[in-house]
Every structure is written in C-alpha cells, then in structure tokens.
Structure 1
C-alpha cells in the first residue's frame, strides 16, 4: 500500500467509526431523553393538553432532535455500508441505552442483561469477521 492509499483507507475508516459513534450516541440519548420526557407526562391523561405538554417538554425536544440527527447520520452510513451489515451493527444502540440507563438513570441491570450485552457484542464481532472474508 502506498502512503496515499494508506492515508485514504485510514481517513475512510476514521470517518466510519466517527459516524457509528455519533449514531449510537444520538440514538441512545434520544431513548434516554424520551424516557425522561415520558416520566414528566405520566400524571396526565392522553389528549390535546398531553400532546402540547409533550411537544414543549425539554427532554422530548432533545429526543426529537437526536432522532433527526440519527436519521441524517444513518443516511450517511448507508452510503458506504451494506444494509446487511449496517442494520445488525445498529444493535449497539441497545448496549448504549443499557449503559445510559444504568449510569445516567441509576437503573438496576441484572446479570442476564449483561449477558445479553456480551451476546450482542459477540454477534457484531462475528459479523465484522464475516465481512472480512
């Protein structure tokens, strides 16, 4: 590999890793913000007032913004990644949400959930290995 080819490969790989990190962060943040926003609405009956309150709740607005960012990032990822690889990799969001709910919301995570996290990570590792061959 020439230095130019190596530089291009590294730049492409770095961009891909950055996009994936942004996707996982934005989708995980959206889920956690939606949980916080939903908690603010639990004592209200569903109706017009509930909808107005939901649309003016800061956590819900953060969630909507993160979902919009996730959509744009996802579109960028799909430009250079096969859907058969990208979609399973997006399951890393489950790991991000679990970690965020544990660290940020203080939720108890059972050992079975942690086993699930490692199964997800193992499955992604298998997908990545299969993509190389």
Structure 2
C-alpha cells in the first residue's frame, strides 16, 4: 500500500512523527484484509473486532515530508483467536526500510472478550504463514 508523507504527518523538522507510523501500519492491515475480501467495518458491525495486544516497533531511518512510502504486511503465526502481522514501511525511492513492526492482534467480540477467529479469516491468514505457502504481502500498484 502506498502512502505519501504530508505536513500533518511530520514534526517541526519535517520528519514523520514516531506515533504516525502506527497509523500507517493500521491502514496497511486494513487494506491487507480488504484486498482479500474482508471489510473491517462490516466485520466490526457483525461483532468481530481486532484489538492490538502487543506491538514491537523498530525505527530504522526517518521518513520525511513529501516521501512516497510503501507499507508491506505479511502474516506470521496464526492461533485460534489471535495472529501476528509483520509490517514494514519502506521509502519507494530506493526501498530503504524505515520502520518495522510485529503486531499481535486478538479477535474479540462486542463484550471485548477474546473469541475464535472466524474460520474464513483464519484460513486466509494461514495461507500467508511461513511453512504453508509463500508470504502474502501487499505491494502497491505501479
């Protein structure tokens, strides 16, 4: 997924503010699901919500005002009620890795308690796990 860095994304020095990478990662995960036929809003309305329970982020190099970024998402481990998304932000010009994250998401219901991943979602996610098929990533359309 492609993202352009706008002034609103940066601090006074024109560098992307660290917390804004969380927004980029959220958009990447949402588009990852959408491109595979799963609308997050519709799932939420039906009582299936994904809550972040853990996130490890490594900031490698700064993104700057005007940069064109690529957000990549692939799936790591999938359990009965959670999964891990491995994500990267790269600068489109040169492919420099700027930021990496490993995000653990739990499937919860309207009561905010853990519940099993819907079978169709779990099956789709497992297709991207190491040891099954090649990783699934979301490249931008060029």
Same fold, TM-score > 0.5, yes or no: no
What's the TM-score, normalizing by structure 1?
0.24
Greater per-residue strand proportion: 2
Greater per-residue helix proportion: 1
Which has the larger Rg? 1
What's the TM-score, normalizing by structure 2?
0.23
